[in-house]
Structure 1
Amino acid sequence: MNNLYEYIEINQKKSIKFFSFKAKDTERIIPMHWHHSPEFIFCREGSLKVWYEGRKIIMNSGDLLFINSDTPHSTQSITHNHVSIIQFPENFLKEEKVSIRLSTCESHEQSKILDEIRQLIIDIKAYHLSQNEYDYLMERSKVLNLKYLLVTHFASNNNEKDKHQERKQLKQLEIVVEYLKKHYKENPSLKETASACGYSEAYLSRLFHSITGQTFLDFKRNLCLEKAIVLMDTTDKTLTQIAYESGFSNVKSFRNYFQLTMNINPKYYKRSKNDP
């Protein structure tokens, strides 16, 4: 899993970070996370499942999605795909004080503008990869052009009160996520986690669903699944050992969730990894 991301950064003069991946199977799961840098996802081929802003969407070939800063999101490749991701500097929209609302799989308007944006992303990647001495200037020009299209067509004014509440909830969620990462092998319940982190069960349940679009149980299972896949890829341990070491309550629960999420039986997945 760790090698599925191609991180492309030629030199420090580049104004953005560029990621690209081509998932050849459905093992690619990026668990729920967030960062201060806004992010733009372009699904060039295939399909990508994304959880963000409390909902789940399916991106298909040609779809665009802008992830604003400090927005929890998680992705899973559900087919073979080719995805490009631009990560902008933290201050990308600081001066404009806006958020960007752009998700083409939920709205299909302004196709001409969207075509311009798609081409800009392709151009930005080309200049980002270029080793010509001054092509970083062309990259910056294209990024600025992209920013202009985003703020003039897809901007939404930030509500400072709402942003303050979101930051507060993110800090609360961060405490819970760190607890789960440390204790996932113990398979903590919602009640145990809420008590350990100082929240009520009802509040923690609402917090997870409203911010991540996942239930507490699904979030915990996805975290355990990520750990299980690493063990399957890097060890010769049995499925029973992997199930318990990755935090599942039993091997049946592990098999069922793996099959549901990955669309393949874990036994066959593990066998495929061991085949020459």
Structure 2
Amino acid sequence: MVFFEHHGMEKQESFRAFTMTTQRFPLHFHRAYELLFVHDGELQVTIDQTVYDLNKHDMAFIFPNQVHELKAKDGSNISIVLFSPELIGRFFMDYKGFVPTNNVIHLGETPNVEGLTSIYRQKSFLYDVCGRLVDHTDFRPIEHSTKTEAFHQILLYVDAHFGEDCTLKAVAKDVQYDYAYLSKLFIHMTNMSFTEYVNHYRVSQACYMLKNSQRSIGEIAISCGYTNLRSFNRNFKRIVGDSPKVFRELGGGGDEGGGNRAS
């Protein structure tokens, strides 16, 4: 799990490849490009309110600042690559201000992205993927609107404050928008209430902590914004399907501090 919005903000070129370890990560966006590869199973990706159903050997190519959500079926094997725009500078400049009309490509086979250990292999691989995308789809200008900017501000606020008393009233005060307007906008963009989204976001962060630290369940609940352990357990089981204890036992713990890794 990760604060996705920070990806691509590094001063140096960045390329990160890893495996998806939870079945869902709620709506988010970031400056980095993101590639999703399905080795086995199924993955549903929502990108700027367009829903794609990916199967084995499919790839999704997500552009900077495209709002997206991931939902994988149990047992699916998904690889994720996050990389800074500077790694593909020519492509980034040529298509700056545009996004694909179709973000998904079917590949003949799924690449071993974790084996791309040198900068030369990484850039060669990424430019090949860019070439496939250009051959596969058209591009459309990014639509900048007040609604989109307001929605982005809501997501950024949750990312920064999910460990606190994170309410839509607090968001409205911080971003200086009308509460009723933000409430209607959020439901329109996500088909869920703001409170439900915050619960999903908190649980997704808790999943990472349960797998990658030795902190107690109570400590994790508090760090994710829950003041009541019973409420945390109830929401966790409703969203994940297992209790936090069972989830940790099935997934196994890890070393403290796993850094910024993805879901």
Q: Is the TM-score greater than 0.5? A: yes
Match of 2:179 among 201, 204, 209: 201
Distance 1:256 1:247 in 2: 14
SS at match of 1:268: helix
Give deviations 1:100-130, integer Å, cap 9, x for gaps.
Answer: 23355xxxxxxxx834xx44x627x48734x
1:144 Cα deviation from its structure 2 partner? 3.6
**Equivalent residue number for residue 45 of structure 1:** 40
Provide the C-alpha distance between the structure 2 equivalents of 1:84 and 1:231, rounded to a whole number of angstroms. 20
Give the equivalent residue in structure 2 for 1:147: 130
Distance 1:200 1:22, change over 3 A: closer
Shift of residue 225 of structure 1?
1.4
Distance across 2 between alignment mates of 1:140 and 1:44 = 22
Letter in 2 for 1:122: P
Cα drift, residue 71 of structure 1: 0.8
Q: Relative to 1, partners in 2 of residues 1:174 and 1:19: Cα closer, same or farther, differing over 3 Å?
A: same
2:65 is paired with a residue of what secondary structure? coil
Q: Does 1:128 align with 2:146?
A: no
Residue 235 of structure 1 is aligned with which of 206, 212, 215? Answer: 215
Partners of 1:93 and 1:99 within 8 A in 2:
no
Could you say if the C-alpha distance between residues 247 and 56 of structure 1 is closer, same or farther in structure 2, counting changes exceeding 3 Å?
A: farther
Answer yes or no: is 1:184 the counterpart of 2:162: yes
Q: Aligned with 1:79: secondary structure? A: coil
TM-score, structure 2 as length reference:
0.67
Name the counterpart of 1:261: 239
Measured after TM superposition, the shift of residue 250 of structure 1 is 4.2
Among 66, 70, 74, which residue is 2:69 paired with? 74
- The letter for the 2-side match of 1:235 is R
Is 1:35 matched with 2:52?
no
Deviation at 1:221, TM superposition (A): 0.8
- 1:122 aligned counterpart, secondary structure: coil
Change (3 A) 1:55 1:249: farther
Stretches of structure 1 that go unaligned for 5 or more consecutive residues are 3-11, 105-112
Of stretches 204-213 and 149-158 in structure 1, the one that deviates more from structure 2 is 204-213
Answer yes or no: is the 8 Å Cα contact 2:26–2:70 preserved in 1. yes
Residue in structure 2 matched with residue 94 of structure 1 by the alignment = 93
Q: Corresponding residue for 1:64?
A: 59
Do 2:217 and 2:245's aligned partners in 1 also have CA atoms closer than 8 Å?
A: no
Equivalent residue of 2:106, what SS? helix
CA offset at residue 227 of structure 1?
4.3
Residue 114 of structure 1: aligned partner = 106
For residue 138 of structure 2, what is the amino acid of its counterpart?
A
| Partners of 1:189 and 1:274 in 2: CA distance | 32
The aligned counterpart of 2:17 is 19
Indicate the structure (1 or 2) with the bigger Cα radius of gyration.
1
Give the % identical residues: 22
TM-score relative to the length of structure 1: 0.65
Q: Matched residues in 2 for 1:149 and 1:42: separation?
A: 14
Give the superposition deviation at 1:154: 0.8
Q: Number of matched residues?
A: 238
